[in-house]
Amino acid sequence: MIAEDYLQLRAQLGTALFSLSALGHDLHASNEMLQTLNGLNASLREPFLFVVMGEVKAGKSSVLNALFGREFCRVDVLPATDKIYVFKYGNESNDVSVSDKLVECYRANKFLRDFNIVDTPGTNTIVADHQAITEQFLPLADLVLFVFSITNPWAASAWEFLNLVQKKWLKNVVFVVQQADLRSETEVEAVVKHLQQTAREKLGANPPVFAVSAKNAFLAKTTATDKERILRESKFDRLEEYINEAVAHGESRTAKLRSVCQSALVVLRELGEKARGAFATTEKDIERLHELEHILDERKEQSLRQVGGVMWSLQQSYERSQKGAEDLLAQRLSFAQTMKLIFRKEKWHADFQESIDKLLHETLKRQIANSIELLESDLKSVWQQLHESLLKNFASEIERPLSPPDFIREREALLKRIELTLMEKMSNQRIEEQMTRAFGEASAWLRVPAGIAVLGGATALAAALAHIAIVDVTGTLAGIAALSGALVAITKRRKIITEFRAQMARKREEVFAPIEDHLRHAIAVFFQELNMTFQPLQTFCAAQKKIYEPIITRINQLEETFKKAAADLGIARKN
């Protein structure tokens, strides 16, 4: 295929440019940069321009058909007029008259995407009016095929026209001697030498000359079975090799590819710096947010340890209050007071329990309020630290001012929850019932020895009045009963105090467990709200990273593609 290597490299560059344009849109490149990329794409897609010239019946159409291996330019169909026919690609065959001198012929041949072909009328018809060709097509042509017929290579009109062409445009002219199969090799060689000598004499140039059989070349490419032999015998393969080397790999086309590749590398470098900078910023922001999370986790653990300190302090206060209550209870349960349980049911213990609960309630409430104020001060410092860090590192990303948690509202709500807990747990009816039962049991046990003592005393009194000996027995019995009563009183007193201690310890667990839960829950909610403060930033950074990761991959791939193309084009790499 003509210019196969060039077209393959151009296709690779075109694909890479298309990806680069898409990358530019994704990175919101400037309009100027996008226009530059569009211009590079348009420049790259610019097809080769081949111009074929010669006298009428010289075999121009046959050369073109053989060159591209398909019959797109019908031989002997076009009339010998002075019109120029430009073949371009079109989805449907259509001829459009641009002027009285120019017709654009659209054909659905895919090779016309890469090659525009200018088929001119015979030189003997256009010498008088040559401007249309010399001014519009020859300066832009990648290749000018000047066709001579082997039967009449001395046509004066051909040389007359060539004399009108500027010398600088002759560098792209190739002489093709057509229908070489009609003459012997000796005759063909003589014609070639004559053309070369005439060109030097008349034009001061030495264009390459190829003697070919376009008919046989076309046959080799389309229907023949022994393609390589017939193509070799037609000598057409030499012409194609020259075109591939001199035109497709020529400085003009290669320079254009180099220019496109270098410009694309500049754009890619700029986009790469932008994308990598944004990606690096995103990763740095994510790292900062992780650091903030770590700091908040540490401060949360610190606050929870403070809760542990608060609970320890409350327990110490509770234990001191409990010890004082036990001492007071021991005083109230003196021997005389205990013995009173024998004769009447005392209600003082209920009042005693109520006063102890009230005292504990007030003590704990006051201490809890102070502790919560200290916790609040610590949490405010946490918020201030977080707020300053966010403003320092993410000021541009924060759309509206950050609002701190409502510390006063949270503190009042927490105090109210704890107050309700204290009221519920400190007024535990079960404790009062346990203590009432303990006092009732003590009273019942004390009545037995007391009854014996009373009975013994009455008997002793009767015996004394009757002057009988039983007095010793009854006196002894009364003494034993009194002693037993004292022992029972001491035992029950100890039991009441022990029961009081046990009930107070149970109450402590019932009171402190929910208080600790409330405090821990309040701290957890606070830090959860803080985390939610920069949750939008985390979401934004994660989304940005998800966007830029594939973009960086695309940039790396494009860099490899363009670097390879640059190496193929001989572009020196710059460090």
What are the pLDDT digits (tens) for 367-390?
888 887 888 788 888 878 777 777
Q: How far apart are CA 50 and CA 172, in angstroms?
A: 10
Band (pLDDT 50/70/90 cuts) for residue 79 is: very low
| pLDDT tens digit sequence for 533-562 | 778 888 888 998 999 999 999 999 999 999
- Residue 93: the pLDDT is 87
Angle made by CA atoms 214, 216, 220, in degrees to the nearest 5: 115
- What average pLDDT does this structure show over 39-67? 87
Most confident of 420-434, 452-466, 498-512: 498-512
Residue 108: per-residue pLDDT: 87
**What confidence category does residue 332 fall into, taking pLDDT thresholds of 50, 70 and 90?**
low
Report the SS3 class of residue 323.
helix
Question: How much of the chain is in helix, strand and coil states, percent to nearest 5?
Answer: 75, 10, 20
- DSSP letter at 396? T
How confident is residue 251, by pLDDT bands cut at 50, 70 and 90?
confident
Dmax (CA) of the chain: 187
pLDDT of residue 136: 78
The residue behind tokens 């989304």 is 543
Domain assignments of the chain as residue spans, ordered by start? 47-249, 281-545
The confidence band for 476, taking pLDDT boundaries of 50, 70 and 90, is low
Strand order in the sheet with 94-97: 94-97, 102-107, 84-89, 115-119, 48-54, 143-149, 173-178, 209-211
Assess whether pLDDT exceeds 70 at residue 293: yes
For residues 333, 337, 339, 342, the Cα torsion angle rounded to the nearest 10 degrees is -110
- pTM, two decimals, is 0.64
Taking CA atoms, 446 is separated from 3, 38, 68, 482, in Å, by 125, 111, 130, 10
pLDDT of 74 reads: 64
Which residues, listed in sequence order, are joined to residue 116 by a DSSP beta bridge? 49
The model's pLDDT over 155-193, given as tens digits with 9 standing for 90+, comes to 777 888 888 777 777 888 999 999 999 999 999 999 999
pLDDT computed for residue 276 by the predictor: 94
pLDDT at 170: 81
Q: Give CATH for domain 47-249.
A: 3.40.50.300
- Comparing 351 with 318, the larger pLDDT belongs to 318
pLDDT of residue 255: 87
Question: In 10 A of CB 319, how many CB atoms?
Answer: 13
426 alpha-carbon distance from chain centroid: 56
C-alpha to C-alpha distance for 173 and 242, rounded to whole angstroms: 12
How far is residue 367's CA from residue 348's CA, in Å, rounded to a whole number?
29
Choose from 3-17, 62-76, 495-509, 561-575 the range with maximum mean pLDDT.
3-17
Q: Residue 138's pLDDT band (boundaries 50, 70, 90)?
A: confident
pLDDT level of residue 457 (50, 70, 90 thresholds): very low
Of residues 222 and 474, which shows the higher confidence score?
A: 222
Residue spans of alpha helices (H) in 180-250: 185-202, 214-222, 227-233, 236-242
pLDDT at 460: 39
Find which of 3-7, 98-102, 549-553 is predicted with most confidence, using mean pLDDT. 549-553
Helix axes 251-332, 535-568, angle to 10 degrees: 160
Share of the chain above pLDDT 70, in %: 76
Q: How far is CA 367 from the centre of its chain?
A: 50
pLDDT of residue 462: 43
Phi and psi for 178 in degrees, rounded to 5?
-90, 160
Question: Taking 50 as the threshold, does the pLDDT of residue 282 lie above it?
Answer: yes
Residue 505: band (very low, low, confident or very high) from pLDDT cuts 50, 70, 90:
confident
CA angle 546, 552, 557 (to 5 degrees): 135
Q: Work out the percent of the chain whose per-residue pLDDT is above 90.
A: 22
Give strand ranges (E) for 305-418: none
Residue located via tokens 């600088």 = 168
Residue 21 corresponds to which tokens in the numbers above?
């344009």
